[in-house]
Amino acid sequence: MPLIFVATPLGNLRDITLRSLDALREADLIVAEDTRVARRLLSALELPGRELASYREQNAAAITASILERARTQNVVVVSDAGTPGISDPGSELVAAARALGIEIEALPGPSAAIGVALLSGFDLQRFTFEGFAPRSSSARRVAFERALAGGCTSIWYESPKRILATLRDLESLAPAARLFLLREYTKRFEQQILGGPAEVARALPSPPRGEIAFALEAAPRQEPKPPSGVEIDASIDAALAAGERVSAIARRLAAAGAGERSELYARASARKAGAAGRSTG
């Protein structure tokens, strides 16, 4: 029997898929991070009375073996409190353990705040990273954001409402012009979407901030290297000539460094060499 991972609604019950309903309906055991949350979901879906087991970081080592033993002969479904299991929630370790034992695994697609905030941001998504929850300490957050901004791609983050203002202050002090898109209470009645700089986003949040929060951070624009000036090129040529470097080698090296076309640099270096020779014999 496969071990089935089921994505659950983030806030709108109608986001449950037909395949997910089938899996939950046929489950002999439903593994959940918080069985109370799972029980409320099952009741709302009119699927009460299912056997539930709690799977958390604190008890994962003790319960993994028994879950996988059940999965060999029964329908075992794994859910998170909301969204896709294993994405900043317990679950990935269970996948690895099941795969090591040769147990078949299925993942039914469904809601994910990370994908939602990425799409709604409008930022470049040809390549992006998922960073999970921002670090708890200010210094660690600044290091993480500095790395992300320099990474050349959009980064996706989760954050607690209790820490989001401190996180935005850190980002503002590091990169006040950075662009981010914040998504609060995704799919819920009071969903909020905010696009802007760190200070602007912070001002738009309710006081105090509340609800589930995800945000996308746009990478810093790449700075194209400034081509050297004519004076700088001539200085490089003169220094190379004085060191005995051949004109052809100088032209090839400077062209590779972006100083101009090789033929033009060759002519320029030749003229500088001839001028230097004339001055030395004059």
Residue 93 contacts residue 67 (beta carbons within 8 Å): no
Does residue 226 register a pLDDT over 80? no
Q: Provide the 3-class DSSP secondary structure of residue 9.
A: coil
Query: What pLDDT, in 10s, does the model give residues 23-53?
Result: 999 999 999 999 999 999 999 999 999 999 9
Specify burial of residue 30 (Cβ count, 10 A radius: 0-12, 13-18, 19+): buried
Paired strand residues for 134: none
Q: What are phi and psi of 32, to 5 degrees?
A: -135, 150
pTM above 0.85, yes or no: no
pLDDT band, very low/low/confident/very high, at 282 (cuts 50, 70, 90): low
Q: How far is CA 172 from CA 175, 177, 191, in A?
A: 5, 8, 24
Largest CA distance in the chain: 104
Q: Where are the alpha helices (DSSP H) in the chain?
A: 18-26, 35-44, 60-71, 92-100, 113-121, 138-149, 164-174, 198-204, 230-242, 247-256, 262-281
- List the chain domain ranges: 3-111, 114-217, 230-281
Whether domain 3-111 has CATH 1.25.10.10: no
- SS3 annotation, 216-268: EECCCCCCCCCCCCHHHHHHHHHHHHHCCCCHHHHHHHHHHCCCCCHHHHHHH
Query: What pLDDT, in 10s, does the model give residues 67-82?
Result: 999 999 999 999 999 9
Annotation: CATH topology of 114-217 = 3.30.950
Residue 45 contacts residue 39 (beta carbons within 8 Å): no
